[in-house]
A = this chain, B = another copy of it.
Amino acid sequence: MAPENRRAQILDKLADHVLAHGLSASSLRPLAKAAATSDRMLLYYFADKGELISAVLQHIAGRMVTLMEAAATPEPLPYDALLARLFAALSDPGFAPYMRVFLEVASGAANGDAALAQIGETIGRGFLDWGKAQLQSDTPDADAARLLVTLEGTVFLRAIGMGDVCQTALGPTG
């Protein structure tokens, strides 16, 4: 098989593993097993683990974009309606693994990992722009920012078992 195809195929299985088990459980040997190859070969297709993780996360981001496009509305929505809709979408178990990984990326970034910070910001800005395009608002920048802050807050709180508080917070508002 052409090496680029082989690399892409491996990347796909690596993304499955990272989404299922998180970055902290993604050392080379488990990743290799998930891709039905060896750690030796992972470092043949990728320069080092950093490049591998970057590639996997970008692949995951690509999948997430696809998911979000599927969740897009044909017409822009007002703030409250869009917030409610996206909050419901984030509750979908299909989305949860992405949010878990996103949280782990943010945590790594906060601890000084520059590569994770860069990828996290790229994903975050993508969310922001996507939200802005979905918004029907006189102040789209501010509303998109509020939307993002609120949704990431719910991701954070759900991670520590406070999903009920998210419900309380969003209930009266939309």
Contact residues of A with B, CB < 8 Å?
A: 21-22, 24-25, 99-100, 103-111, 117, 120-121, 123-125, 128, 139, 141-142, 145-146, 148-157, 159-162, 165-166, 168-173
| Beta-carbon contact of A121 and B155 below 8 Å | no
| Residues of B contacting A148 in the complex (Cβ-Cβ under 8 angstroms) | 153, 157, 162, 165, 169
Least CB distance from A160 to B in Å reads 3
| Residues of B contacting A105 in the complex (Cβ-Cβ under 8 angstroms) | 160
Q: Which among A150, A169, A173 has the highest number of chain B CB atoms within 10 Å?
A: A169
Least CB distance from A108 to B in Å reads 8
> Which 3 pairs from chain A and chain B are nearest by CB?
A153-B153, A120-B160, A145-B169
Pairs A–B under 8 Å by Cβ, sample size 26: A22-B110, A103-B106, A104-B107, A104-B110, A106-B107, A106-B160, A117-B159, A117-B160, A120-B159, A121-B160, A121-B161, A121-B162, A124-B157, A128-B165, A142-B169, A142-B172, A145-B168, A148-B162, A149-B165, A149-B166, A149-B169, A149-B170, A150-B150, A150-B153, A153-B153, A153-B154
